[in-house]
């Protein structure tokens, strides 16, 4: 991409919160200058960026990496669960289960898009701050709620991750019902993908080129929570990359990549291209930056900046990653690498004051 094009598509938001350290601004401006983006250009865009994340919630709270529509679906049941049991673990699990059981979401749980062979394989992780204990499952088939299986790995074994056939056997031993996870909508979307991979294979699209499948919706989801005593919990759950090689594992079930928390600091989760999050230890990086004094918003942006940097610059990045985070003070952050017109990154949270949805920051605006 030419330098002029880079400037045309690059957008960074500077939160106006007074706690942002000037040294962090200077460091990032130096990084922008390296890519040929002028300070005046950044400031002019920043002034037009409007209200972004960097919100302040009250404890207790539950947060998820979705906007208004899905945020309400996820967080209201999570909050009801928390009020009933007082358990922040119960709350984040209840929120994650909402998406896992909803066939309208095509990237989490039941109804998720399959691998290249048309088989749905699910990944999930869970972590609990007071004990620093965690559990995960990867490549799990035929079970709708992988986050609930991951919780049992955490609570009922001395392991952290179980995958594939072993994860299915473990779920079966704990009474989980085996079901077909491939919905008709997901099957049709897979068939469309399969029939259009190549014009040199034996798969042909319909003669009229028309498919009945629907547009892909949603994405991997992070559900994070902090109770009134400051105990932190989190879940990340997904059906993974659509059309992946069978057995491919992304960042979601990997502690430190798709999910990480520190009970003294806060929690973070990631969505997007899992390989990039794995090789940067993305969620761990966000929490570590918060422990060093960054706000959740700054830390999420820093993780995005790091991925761009190790890939050699903005013109080498043709994918997206998004981070959400919350610290023990109830500050919330959200940032993604890419933003598209009308498709900005969002984070939602619910606390005693009600439901809130906040727009995050994007480094690149398409």
How far from 321 is each of 34, 259, 270, 353, CA to CA, in Å? 22, 13, 7, 30
- H helices, E strands: number in the chain: 11, 13
Give the whole-angstrom CA distance, residue 117 versus residue 120.
9
- Show Cβ contacts of residue 356 under 8 Å, excluding neighbours closer than 6 positions: 55, 57, 348, 349, 350
Residue pLDDT, tens place only, 220-235: 999 999 999 999 999 9
pLDDT tens per residue, range 323-365: 999 999 999 999 999 987 667 899 999 999 999 999 999 998 8
Which residue in 191, 178, 104 sits closest to 145, CA to CA? 178
Spatial separation of the C-alpha atoms in residues 96 and 148, rounded to whole Å: 9
Q: How far apart are CA 284 and CA 160, in angstroms?
A: 17
> pLDDT of 24-73, one tens digit each?
444 444 555 454 444 433 433 343 333 346 677 889 999 999 999 999 99
Q: Are 346 and 71 in contact (CB under 8 A)?
A: yes
In the chain the domains, ranked by start, together with CATH numbers, are 56-182+216-365 (3.60.20.30)
Q: E-strand spans in 49-167?
A: 61-64, 122-128, 133-140, 161-163
Pair of tokens at residue 347 = 């984070």
The predicted-structure confidence for 230-249, as pLDDT tens digits, reads as follows 999 999 999 999 999 999 99
pLDDT of residue 366: 76
Q: Three-state SS for 22?
A: helix
Catalytic residue at 353? no
Furthest-apart CA atoms within the chain: distance in Å: 62
Active-site residue (options: 6, 157, 183, 220)? 220
Rounded to whole angstroms, the Cα distance separating 199 from 333 reads: 45
Tokens representing 108? 């989490």
pTM reported for the whole predicted model: 0.84
Predicted pLDDT of residue 37: 44
Q: Which residues pair with 122 in a beta bridge?
A: 140
Say if residues 84 and 358 touch (Cβ distance below 8 Å).
no
> Closest Cα partner for 146 from 60, 235, 67?
235
pLDDT tens sequence across 177-218: 999 999 999 999 999 988 988 888 888 888 777 766 545 444
């Amino acid at each position: 991409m030419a330098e002029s094009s880079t400037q045309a598509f690059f957008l960074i938001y500077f939160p106006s919160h007074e706690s942002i350290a000037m040294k962090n601004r200077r460091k990032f401006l130096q990084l922008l200058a390296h890519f040929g983006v002028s300070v005046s250009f950044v400031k002019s865009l920043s002034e037009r960026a409007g209200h972004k994340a960097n919100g302040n919630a009250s404890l207790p709270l539950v947060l998820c990496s979705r906007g208004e529509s899905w945020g309400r679906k996820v967080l209201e049941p999570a909050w009801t669960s928390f009020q009933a049991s007082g358990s922040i673990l119960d709350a984040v699990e209840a929120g994650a289960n909402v998406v896992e059981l909803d066939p309208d979401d095509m990237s989490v749980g039941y109804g998720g898009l399959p691998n290249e062979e048309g088989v749905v394989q699910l990944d999930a992780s869970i972590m609990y701050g007071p004990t620093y204990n965690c559990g995960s499952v990867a490549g799990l088939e035929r079970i709708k709620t992988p986050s609930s299986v991951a919780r049992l790995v955490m609570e009922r074994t001395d392991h952290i991750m179980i995958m594939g056939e072993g994860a299915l056997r473990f779920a079966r031993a704990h009474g989980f019902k085996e079901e077909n996870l491939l919905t008709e909508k997901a099957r049709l979307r897979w068939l469309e993908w399969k029939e259009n991979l190549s014009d040199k294979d034996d798969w042909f699209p319909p003669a009229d080129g028309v498919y009945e499948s629907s547009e892909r919706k949603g994405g991997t989801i992070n559900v994070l929570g902090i109770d009134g005593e400051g105990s932190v919990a989190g879940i990340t759950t997904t059906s993974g990359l659509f059309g992946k090689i069978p057995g491919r594992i992304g960042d979601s079930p990997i502690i430190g990549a798709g999910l990480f928390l520190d009970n003294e600091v806060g929690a973070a989760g990631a969505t997007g291209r899992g390989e990039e999050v794995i090789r940067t230890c993305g969620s761990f990086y966000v929490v570590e930056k918060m422990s060093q004094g960054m706000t959740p918003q700054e830390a999420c942006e820093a993780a995005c900046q790091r991925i761009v940097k190790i890939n050699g610059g903005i013109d080498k990045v043709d994918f997206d990653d998004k981070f959400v985070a919350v610290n023990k003070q109830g500050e919330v952050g959200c940032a993604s690498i890419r933003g598209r017109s009308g498709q900005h990154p969002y984070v939602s949270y619910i606390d005693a004051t009600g439901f809130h949805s906040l727009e995050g920051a994007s480094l690149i605006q398409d």
